[in-house]
Amino acid sequence: MDYLELMVPLGERSYQINIGTGLLAQCGEKIAALTDSRVLVVSNPTVFQLYGEVVLNSLATAGLEVHQALIPDGEEYKNMTETMQVIDQALHLQLDRGSVVLALGGGVVGDLAGFVAAIYQRGISFIQIPTTLLAQVDSSVGGKVGVNHPQGKNMIGAFHQPRLVVADLNTLDTLEGRDYISGLGEVVKYGVVWDKALFDYLETHIEQINQRHKSCLQHIVYECCRIKSDIVAQDETESGLRAVLNLGHTFGHSLEKLGEYHRYRHGEAVAMGIVIACFMAEDLGLISTKETARIKALLQGLQLPIQVPQYDPEAVYNGMLGDKKASNQGLRFILPTGIGRFTMADNPDKDLVLKAIKRAM
Ligand SMILES: NC(=O)c1ccc[n+]([C@@H]2O[C@H](COP(=O)([O-])OP(=O)(O)OC[C@H]3O[C@@H](n4cnc5c(N)ncnc54)[C@H](O)[C@@H]3O)[C@@H](O)[C@H]2O)c1
Ligand SMILES: [Zn+2]
């Protein structure tokens, strides 16, 4: 399969995203065209065991000096302790300002490695090789990098754009079912909030998506990256428009927290959050019951959860108040106003929010 190329247009920080199959074995050439410096590959044991060798070989064949740093597998390791371990290693290897950090893994590895690249010697080059669907459609693009603090997710971070993103669709074959499905939660988000054509495509390709057909995935990853890069190009540091990508996330983060980050994958929580947002929008007369039903049917067809567990609705509400995506003035929700359209609602009536949460249970 040929690969598709997409440019994220950010002036002198512009970069390419390559989307296709068999790209890991060719990544060395691409990267050697950007740098002749040393490369620190950051990964975790799960991903490194599967894809480390092919990436390292490709880099070495292209004449690059390569090193590796592994962090343990799991969201709980996206923290400052592991960040410091990678920095210790970079210092030990005497990496300098010309060196490159390469993230090989899902969103956890990408966020942490990108943060290291953002702060090491005031910032060095960063390359993303995302290996989960979530990372390919969302976290590897846009430059948000960071780690968690015991008091909250993604509380420490920076904006640091990669210089290249290489999304090899073959890596998605080895993803566990729920990790794959989680990525689909973010995919549906783009369709609901921004692009009716993508939504229609997803609706008519449910079976192929569930079977991970490559041509279908190539289209989906391309479209999601195109949408995200459009939005990021207009609002790189989330002063306004970029917040649209938080559809389902204000509720989702609270549900993730109530499930102690184990019960639900990120994209699963986002899916339930999208349903609650639809119910709120319905109550405000912004979206029809028919459109809500379509959105729910798509989520369900993709095996995403659409029913919120029987948590105390007040607890779900309170969980959102601590969310960093709540603006200083209070809670902000992204609400769909039809498929492919949205509005922002600041500080809606608490009863309206509770009603929507209860309805989703
Ligand atoms: N920076 C952003 O803009 C942004 C956007 C969305 C999410 N995120 C962050 O992304 C993280 C979630 O990312 P994720 O869903 O990729 O989780 P993850 O990185 O934890 O990966 C999920 C699991 O899949 C495994 N894995 C990765 N690639 C694999 C492969 N090809 N084959 C088999 N197993 C593989 C991982 O080892 C892990 O166990 C969260 O920390 C979230 O905050 C960041
Ligand atoms: Zn997300």
What distance in angstroms lies between residue 266's CA and the mean position of ligand 2's atoms? 6
Residue of the CA atom closest to atom 9 of ligand 1: 107
- For ligand 1, residues with CB inside 6 Å are 44, 46-47, 50, 73, 75, 78, 105-109, 111, 131-132, 134-135, 138-139, 142, 144, 154, 171, 174-175, 179, 182, 266
Q: Do 47 and 109 meet the contact criterion of CB atoms below 8 Å apart?
A: yes
Specify the ligand 1 atom closest to the Cα of 78. Answer: 41
Q: What is the H or E stretch that residue 225 is in? A: helix 214-234
The number of the ligand nearest the C-alpha atom of 153 reads: 1
Residue ranges, the chain, pLDDT below 50: 326-327
Ligand 1 centre distance from Cα of residue 210 (Å): 19
For residue 100, CA distances in Å to 68, 97, 348 come to 11, 8, 45
pLDDT in the model for residue 355: 97
Give residue for tokens 């039809």.
Answer: 338
* Intrachain domains 4-174 and 177-359 with the same fold: no
- For the chain, give the percent of residues with pLDDT over 90: 90
> What CATH class does 4-174 carry?
alpha beta
The C-alpha atoms of residue 113 and residue 124 are separated, in whole angstroms, by: 11
Task: Choose which residue among 43, 111, 137, 178 to substitute to test ligand 1 binding: the one with the highest number of ligand atoms within 8 A of its C-beta.
Answer: 111
The number of the ligand nearest the C-alpha atom of 245 reads 2
* Nearest-ligand number for the alpha carbon of 269: 2
Give residue-wise pLDDT tens across range 24-46. Answer: 999 999 999 998 889 999 999 99
Asked whether the beta carbons of 41 and 66 are under 8 A apart, the reply is yes
Instruction: Give CATH superfamily name and number for 177-359.
Output: Dehydroquinate synthase-like - alpha domain (1.20.1090.10)
Distance from the alpha carbon of residue 267 to the mean position of ligand 2, in angstroms: 6
Q: Where are the domains of the chain?
A: 4-174, 177-359
Residues 6+ away with beta carbon under 8 Å from 238: none
Q: How many residues does the chain have?
A: 361
From CA 177, how far away is CA 91, in angstroms rounded? 38
- Quote the pLDDT of residue 328: 58
Atom 18, ligand 1: residue with shortest CA distance: 106
Query: What pLDDT does 36 receive?
Result: 81
